[in-house]
């Protein structure tokens, strides 16, 4: 019964109409939004309603939370949910937002339980317990404003969240069937090995070599590229593109800003 009421509540939230303020924020901060088909825009706004109602945002390091911050982050996170059956990142409770690249509160706690993103300053991370995502607002805003540079902190962090939905941090999200898991494993391990080789030889790759760190980072990095450089990914890694298109139920080649950026 709980599931039934949750579904009802979410359906009511999704049916709420978005304010002009939201439209203005998304038009200004998230160029991707305006490129989506109108039906997808509506779906995304509905997901944002649920996301904002269910997740707790906290401003850290002196950051005063605004509607702009919450909507810009939530909308990017919800791009990964479009067209799919979703439970809205069920294990995620809080999004902690710092003004800019933040200092990890306890370096020694950053072990195998925490993924750090970035080099000198930490831009964001997801804890393995999954209940918290930590983001730097300047990086989240920059990622949204540059939809074709292949880098997007929010997509990256929430790809980790999807990876963990099956409670394993192995670079594979929840998939439907055994056959899908096998196809995923076959294609992803081959592509991961390729990126590792590229990193060693210095050969160019569509993917950031940060993805060569481990399979979890690989999934997060290819997710960024899938949405931001879909033409290049499809041309150079067609099988990987196909497997991601099937999982995300999206074909970003249709709406990405990549072609305009060339
Ligand atoms: Zn990561």
Q: List Cα–Cα distances, 23 to 34, 98, 193, in angstroms.
A: 9, 24, 42
Query: How does strand 114-117 pair with strand 124-127?
Result: antiparallel
Q: Which two tokens stand for residue 31?
A: 């160029």
Contact (CB, 8 A) for 128 and 109: no
How many angstroms is it from 15 CA to the middle of ligand 1? 33
Q: In what order do the strands lie in the sheet with 132-136?
A: 56-59, 94-98, 132-136, 124-127, 114-117
Q: What's the pLDDT tens digit per position in 187-245? A: 999 999 999 999 999 999 999 999 999 999 999 999 999 999 999 999 999 999 999 99
When the pLDDT of each residue in the chain is averaged and rounded to a whole number, the result is: 89
How many angstroms is it from 156 CA to the middle of ligand 1? 6
Q: Given a cut of 90, is residue 248 above it in pLDDT?
A: yes
Q: What's the pLDDT tens digit per position in 95-154? A: 999 998 755 443 333 333 444 555 444 566 655 556 889 899 999 999 999 999 999 999
Q: Which two tokens stand for residue 14?
A: 């999704």
Number of alpha carbons in the 13 Å side-chain half-sphere of residue 58: 10
Task: Give the integer Cα–Cα distance in Å for 53 and 32.
Answer: 23
How many angstroms is it from 252 CA to the middle of ligand 1? 21
Q: Given a cut of 90, is residue 262 above it in pLDDT?
A: no
Q: What's the pLDDT tens digit per position in 5-22? A: 999 999 999 999 999 999
Phi–psi pair at 260, nearest 5 degrees: -65, -30
């Amino acid at each position: 019964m709980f599931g039934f009421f949750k579904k009802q509540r979410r359906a009511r939230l999704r049916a709420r109409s978005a304010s002009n303020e939201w439209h203005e924020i998304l038009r200004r901060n998230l160029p991707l939004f305006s490129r989506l088909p109108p039906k997808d825009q509506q779906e995304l706004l509905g997901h944002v309603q649920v996301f904002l109602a269910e997740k707790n945002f906290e401003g850290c390091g002196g950051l005063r939370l605004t509607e702009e911050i919450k909507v810009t982050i939530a909308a990017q996170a919800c791009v990964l949910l479009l067209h799919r059956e979703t439970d809205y990142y069920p294990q995620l409770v809080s999004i902690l937002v710092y003004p800019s690249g933040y200092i990890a509160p306890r370096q020694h706690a950053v072990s195998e339980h925490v993924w750090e993103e970035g080099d000198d300053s930490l831009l964001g991370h997801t804890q393995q317990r999954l209940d918290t995502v930590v983001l730097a607002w300047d990086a989240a805003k920059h990622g949204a404003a540059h939809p074709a540079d292949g880098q997007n902190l929010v997509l990256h962090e929430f790809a980790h969240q999807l990876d963990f939905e099956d409670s394993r941090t192995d670079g594979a999200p929840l998939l439907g069937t055994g056959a899908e898991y096998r196809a995923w494993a076959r294609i992803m391990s081959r592509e991961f090995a390729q990126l590792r080789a590229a990193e060693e030889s210095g050969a160019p790759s569509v993917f950031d070599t940060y993805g060569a760190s481990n399979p979890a980072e690989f999934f997060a990095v290819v997710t960024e590229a899938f949405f931001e450089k879909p033409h290049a990914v499809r041309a150079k890694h067609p099988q990987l593109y196909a497997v991601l298109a099937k999982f995300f139920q999206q074909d970003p080649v249709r709406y990405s800003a990549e072609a305009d950026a060339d």
